[in-house]
Amino acid sequence: MATSIYKIIEIVGTSKTSWEDATKSALAVTAKSLEDLRVAEVVKLDVTVENGKITAYRVRLTVSFKYKGD
């Protein structure tokens, strides 16, 4: 029986418009470097505030991808 192994990493995405855009851009960039992305889980959401206004949205994600051994 074949088994699969997955590696989990943490990434952070930012956006000036929304957490959704931050998530999409983080995963798009990550997908260029890693193959077989499987699951992304939102771990934390936060915002940057300047002069009482939100200036950036940040999302912290854990991402799993299939590990390919030798």
Domains identified in the chain and CATH numbers: 6-66 (3.30.1660.10)
Q: Using CB atoms within 10 A of its CB, is residue 56 exposed (0-12), middle (13-18) or buried (19+)? A: middle
pLDDT given at position 2? 66
| CA 32 – CA 28 distance, rounded (Å) | 7
* Integer-rounded Cα radius of gyration of the chain: 15
For 12-58, what is each residue's pLDDT tens digit?
A: 999 999 999 999 999 999 999 998 898 999 999 999 999 999 999 99
In which band, very low, low, confident or very high, does the pLDDT at 70 lie, cut at 50, 70 and 90? Answer: low
pLDDT given at position 68? 78
| CA 23 – CA 40 distance, rounded (Å) | 9
Q: What ranges make up the beta strands (E) of 1-70?
A: 6-15, 37-50, 53-66
Read off the amino acid at residue 20.
E
